[in-house]
Amino acid sequence: MARIHTFGSGQSPAHSRLFGESPNPLHRVVEHRSLPHPEALVGLVGDDDGLSQRTAVAGCPWDWIARAEFASAGGPSLTKEQLKVAEYQRDAERGDTIGQYNLGWAHYNGVGIPTNYPVAYRWFVKAAAGGDTSAQDYLGLMYEFGRAVPKDLTQARLWYKKATDGGNDLAETHLISVLLDEKTASSDMQALAYARSSAAKGNDDGLYYLALMFEQGRGVPVNRAEAVRLYKLSAAKGDEDAQRKLKALGY
């Protein structure tokens, strides 16, 4: 089954956002970018994770498998998008990690269905256990901002690192962000290593963070010239924060 939404260095951003959850201007969590969804899930309702037995359709508006079965038996027809959700649910319940991720993604982002963080969390946990790095990254995000779970930056860092170790480039930038927020010499050195790794892959976020560290002397001596050089590389990739930094620095 194809993944409906993925993240990584190859995707272009809708781009970075500053979140009210963190007063630290250094903190630039690039929340999972809202890339165009290939199949808009319009007009759906999602209130549970579908782990029940097939029951009366009227009593389970979230159970898209039951609704699809009812439609095929002569009941109200479903749209193409609704039938696709039934496919995601069916694959998810069979233990397919991509199906679990897809269903979690739809509930987290509220794409055509009301946002439901608790349901998204349950599906991401299942997908993450199967090794899905995007689901692991989302769990880091949920722990960082306290969505469906108590805010826990230690857990956030652990999930971001697990996803990063699995090759998820976006998770690497999230990991850099939380490490810099810790404001210790040790965490700065860890952030520096990940920022160098991300920048070496040409990721605009990695270039931005590395520039910021040179500008502020975090883990490295202050080096304005190197910071400007890196900001320019990031800005050339469309990074709006880097563009604003260059303007503030007079470039």
Structure confidence by residue, pLDDT tens digits, 12-68 = 222 222 222 333 333 343 333 332 233 333 333 333 444 344 443 334 445 656 666
Q: What is the pLDDT of residues 62-121, one digit of tens each?
A: 565 666 665 666 666 666 666 766 777 788 888 999 989 988 887 888 765 678 899 899
Taking alpha carbons only, the member of 93, 89, 90 closest to residue 106 is 89
Q: How far apart are CA 246 and CA 35, in angstroms?
A: 26
What is the reported pTM?
0.73
Whether 127 is in a domain gets the answer yes
Which distant-in-sequence residues (6+ apart) come within 8 Å of 3 by Cβ? 98, 101, 102, 134
Q: What value does the mean pLDDT take over residues 224-240? A: 97
Residues 25 and 106 in one domain: yes
Confidence band, pLDDT 50/70/90 cuts, at residue 137: very high
Whether 141 is in a domain gets the answer no
Residues 46 and 112 in one domain: yes
Residues 122 and 216 in one domain: no
Residues 216 and 123 in one domain: no
Average pLDDT, the chain: 76
The residue among 103, 135, 167 that closes a domain is: 135
Check residue 19 and give its pLDDT: 28
Instruction: State the residue range of the domain holding 111.
Output: 1-135
Whether 206 is in a domain gets the answer yes
Contact (Cβ atoms closer than 8 angstroms) between residue 31 and residue 144: no
The residue among 105, 135, 165 that closes a domain is: 135
* CA-to-CA separations, 172 to 8, 26, 96, 188, in angstroms, rounded: 10, 16, 25, 14
Q: How many domains does the chain have?
A: 2
The residue among 96, 117, 135 that closes a domain is: 135
